[in-house]
Amino acid sequence: MTDTATITTGNLNKFEKLKAEKDGLKIKEEIAQIASLGWEAMDETDRDHRLKWVGVFFRPVTPGKFMLRMRMPNGIINSEQMGVLAEVVQRYGDDGNADITTRQNIQLRGIRIEDLPDIFNRFQAVGLTSIQSGMDNIRNITGDAIAGLDADELYDTRELVQQIQDMFTNKGQGNPEFSNLPRKFNIAIAGGRDNSVHAEINDLAFVPAFKEGTGNWVLGTGQDFSPSPVFGFNILVGGFFSAKRCEAAIPLNAWVTPEEVLEVCRAILEVYRDNGLRANRLKSRLMWLIDEWGIDKFRLEVEKRLGKSLLPAAPKDEIDWEKRDHIGVYKQKQPGLNYVGLHIPVGRLYAEDMFELARLADVYGSGEMRLTVEQNVIIPNIPDSRLSTFLTDPLLERFSIDPGLLTRSLVSCTGAQFCNFALIETKNRALSIIQALETELTFTRPVRIHWTGCPNSCGQPQVADIGLMGTKARKNGKAVEGVDIYMGGKVGKDAHLGKCVQKGIPCEDLQPFLRDLLIQHFGAKAKEEALVKGVRV
């Protein structure tokens, strides 16, 4: 085990110094004292940074009201847990709301420091945790949102994802072995063919791949017997987004069985923890270490930690489907059951929404819900006998199973309303512009539009057909809110990152600009033109 005091990697930046002074997890023991002091009397370093080790984020744009980020491995939550989160949100008035994130978890807003002991007690009672969900920790682990439901899946990722979370959080109690990484670390495990987890943008990703058997001489037959292909995972490493650099993950040239995933994950984390670059925080993600060492040395160091050699990667992975968004009604692998994907506009939920989703899951399903990386909700295990009634529920008027072709693929980060890093307001603007474009245009296919308020890229514009990154633009000699335009991102099979194609478009000029892009590059047509040609709109 390597702890904070033993890491010495050259000149430390200010974040490394604060971690060296006190492990961030220590804040967990001080919650009662902090709650009695109030946020204004807190030590600034504890308030601004160390609270993130228990998932609590100070936001200067909402002083006194904090954001709280949950951990939800594989995006799974039950109705009782959702009800508790709704109760927490309900207490904080107009600003109280929650956001589904692009890592299949939920962030709560409007949280007050003095209520943290009660909130954490409520979480513990229903098996929820926010431990190690911010700062230099492993973030929420993503897995297939329909794991265990999909008749076409190759592997049910749920148990593996939970095992990894339990390892680095000590089953939700906090684990100092992994509480001081050089920077944050993202992990994804794909069990299907459509790369629903966006493997390429994670520091560590496991993607399904079959490896041929070695072959055995079968006695008495005179024949060489080659066993059936064995299922496992190829490993990708180093994918990340940051303000300085964005890179897709690269192959480690390694293949592992499901039984080996946990130990390999630990070994990779330990190598990164003990050797990752710490002097320059802008160069502290895993890919920078791989750049410095080369992929072969990195792989060798991982093997040293494992105490064994890794098998070379399978010749190809099984990501050969286009990306599915799971919105709508689908049959499950379990006979007589269905899952239904509900579109949650830009992932924003209020307390009443959360209570209502819990009600739907209880009344029609098994009480379970799944969150997706597109910020939507899936309700599984709905019997055929209840499906038609489910589809008439009034909540589906708000959370549609058949949204417009722009609306269904819209993703947005929090934006300036609640995040001090964001340079522009995103969620409300994204919704209003998309609604206007769907009024003007007709489409033949979905177009994925992602909004992010700043270069930190929480809204992942680089994986979108059209990505919009908040910036400051100039119009008539004045600074205004604007966006840089990204295009060409691809998800699913042959995934790759998009590139910036236009900088500094003022937000007030964005709607006509997007209209032209959609017509020129994505086959959209003005509704007037479509009517003239006899196209039904």
Q: Of the listed 96, 453, 467, 498, which one is catalytic? A: 453
Contact (CB, 8 A) for 487 and 521: yes
Radius of gyration, CA atoms only, the chain = 24
Q: Of the listed 183, 299, 427, 525, which one is catalytic? A: 183
Distant-in-sequence contacts of 255-260, Cβ < 8 A, 24+ apart: 255/209, 255/211, 255/310, 255/311, 255/312, 255/313, 255/314, 256/206, 256/232, 256/310, 256/311, 257/230, 257/231, 257/232, 257/233, 258/155, 258/160, 258/231, 258/232, 258/233, 260/232
Residue at token pair 């309700």: 379
Q: Of the listed 184, 245, 359, 515, which one is catalytic? A: 184
59 labelled catalytic: no
Encoded tokens for 349: 């939920």
Q: Angle at the Cα of 367 (from 366 to 372), degrees rounded to 5?
A: 105
Q: How many CB atoms lie within 10 A of CB 20?
A: 15
Q: Of the listed 459, 467, 482, 489, which one is catalytic? A: 459
Q: Does residue 16 sit in helix, strand or coil?
A: helix
184 labelled catalytic: yes
499, β-bridge pairs: 487
477 labelled catalytic: no
28 labelled catalytic: no
CA 369/CA 380 separation, integer angstroms: 7
Q: Of the listed 71, 458, 490, 525, which one is catalytic? A: 458
Q: Does residue 238 sit in helix, strand or coil?
A: coil
Contact (CB, 8 A) for 495 and 200: yes
Encoded tokens for 335: 């006979």
Q: Where do the DSSP E strands lie in 29-167? A: 56-57, 66-69, 76-78, 97-100, 106-111, 142-143
Q: Where do the DSSP E strands lie in 90-245? A: 97-100, 106-111, 142-143, 187-189, 204-211, 216-218, 223-225, 230-237, 240-241
* Beta-carbon contacts of residue 319 (< 8 Å; ≥ 6 apart): 190, 193, 194, 195, 199, 207, 208, 492, 493, 495
Contact (CB, 8 A) for 518 and 447: yes
Residue 254: in which H helix or E strand, if any?
Answer: strand 250-256
Encoded tokens for 456: 């930190």
* Helices and strands: H and E segment counts in the chain: 15, 26
459 labelled catalytic: yes
Strands 449-452 and 466-475, how do they pair?
parallel
Q: How many CB atoms lie within 10 A of CB 385?
A: 8
Active site residues: 69, 183-184, 453, 458-459
